[in-house]
Structure 1
């Protein structure tokens, strides 16, 4: 089991100091800040038969079973496939677990991640267990996007905001994990990860900096009319759609901020500042607002894994982006 991250220590001390625990916690915060590790550590300590002041003992039967991933009183519920929904049948199996007697005589723990992956039927099936938990059961729900949860789910949990590391904490940890990163690259990677250090490590492994350079270069060629929207859309076939829409949403917001403030510092990362400043000065604000509304709508569809025609979607995006400088 991974150790807690440095920025989690203050909250951890608060959690372990509690004499009584809620029957359900909603551990929420952006992806990539270590919520799963925090939940696993809390589950381990709550299941431990001889807990220490700040941790599980690591030596009792419960701790050994956890280490072997065979603990009978821990139930982990996740999507059956990555990026898929948690289905109602999965939650019904969880409910069957909740009503059983703990096999080691202590607590039962449920770890559910990500909670927003439950489809509506699954979420409704969970409500009764959240309302009337059986026996000594504690549920730890992990959510990267709590606003996507049913209000009735949120209201039945203690909502526990998980700590975000400061920029300095994130950079220190990131460079410890990837010593080859210089200060500038580490900061760029962290900004691309929205400030989430674990996400930054994952993005580094996926060569997101290289992908970003390819996209920025393509956008510049598009605006100079050196490449058509359809050709550029085809050339981006291997790039993740969520990443592309994150960047274009970020850029459209930068355009609006600059149009309102004329402050170059609002334009985001250095690689697109000149382009965004040019577009902000040439584009009608109404067109930027319309594009941003469209981007946010399409991004929701992408994140919701809607059945989209990738090439047509990107071509529509690039046609609108290329037309921004025309004020008419």
Structure 2
């Protein structure tokens, strides 16, 4: 029987970041803690998993894990004894019990390759007790242990954790790279999907899920109808309440940020002189209102993620009343 091969490979737009990591690995200069930072949908988890597999591989091949050795097979089966992954369920935080559980593992001896690897994130979801407990590990890591953290919102990560990690920022790739990658899987839909995902290729790929596309379309249509006065906040909240509230928050934020981006683009040209000044002042008022509204949605999202259980109908009604006033 042919031997199976499965290798975690960084995305094409991550080539430069990967070369930097591999050079550090090859020169035994890889830091014990890395923090991968970038917008959700840019591919942080993929490059982090690629590095984890490389670190646990018994015989790296062409700058990657080989995909065939015992270490790679166990990694792919999620059963490697020296690998621990800590990622919360949607709407949950990372708690101190989870950090203590991984600490009890990594402070023991490695069972296979000599290295131990932790993949943890999003780091902004560490509650305060969990973050403080992890800080002790970052300050005094056990030998041959690598902690690979990732974050969608760097500002939400404690500065003390940030300062003890090497930060690796992953920007949004060039549109041409993303289109080329997406076309292989999505064909003619690639450009539309990328536009819907605001340039984030991994997020665009997730939109191939028809249910998510339908949910996004529902949010966009309802907010447009609300702004036009065709439906009220209560009715809008009732229709949106069929979706998980965390998903609604994400889609509302995406819609609002899309409006801000579109209005900013419209200001790049246009009138001159007094007319342009008036247009600029109007744009500032509109954009400021939209960003304040987005912050309210982010606050609700943080509340949900903290374990709070607000009444979805009432929470959405309150937000939508604000949006209607803004519109």
Q: Same fold (TM over 0.5)?
A: yes
Count of matched residue pairs: 305
Cα deviation, residue 254, structure 1: 5.2
Q: Does 2:72 correspond to 1:63?
A: yes
The question of whether the paired residues in 2 share the 8 Å contact of 1:291 and 1:320 is answered with no
State the distance in 2 between where 1:219 and 1:77 align.
36
CA distance in 2, matches of 1:221, 1:69: 46
Aligned partner of 1:230 in structure 2 is: 234
Q: How does 1:1-328 map to 2 (within 5 A)?
A: 1-18=7-24, 19=27, 20-79=29-88, 81-104=89-112, 106-181=114-189, 186-239=190-243, 240-250=247-257, 253=260, 257=264, 263=270, 286=285, 289-290=288-289, 292-305=291-304, 306-324=308-326
Contact 1:245–1:299 (Cα < 8 Å) also in 2? no
Q: What CA deviation, in whole Å up to 9, does each residue of 1:24-65 have, x standing for no partner?
A: 111111111222121111112122232234112334332233
Q: In structure 1, how many angstroms separate the alpha carbons of the residues matched to 2:270 and 2:318? A: 29
Structure 1 unmatched ranges of 5 or more = 265-279
Q: Normalising by structure 1, report the TM-score.
A: 0.80
Residues in 1 aligned to 2:251 and 2:50: alpha-carbon distance in whole angstroms: 34
Q: Secondary structure at the match of 2:112?
A: coil
Q: Which residue of 1 aligns with 2:4?
A: none
Aligned-CA RMSD value: 3.0
CA distance in 2 between partners of 1:70 and 1:220 (Å): 48
CA contact (8 A) 2:256 2:290 kept: no
What residue in structure 2 maps to residue 273 of structure 1? none
Which deviates more from structure 2 when the two are superposed, residues 240-249 or residues 25-34? 240-249
How far is the alpha carbon of 1:220 from its aligned partner? 4.5
8 Å CA contact 1:88, 1:121 repeated in 2: yes
| CA-CA distance at 1:293 after TM superposition | 1.7
Asked whether the 8 Å contact 2:249–2:297 carries over to 1, the reply is no
TM-score, normalization: structure 2? 0.81
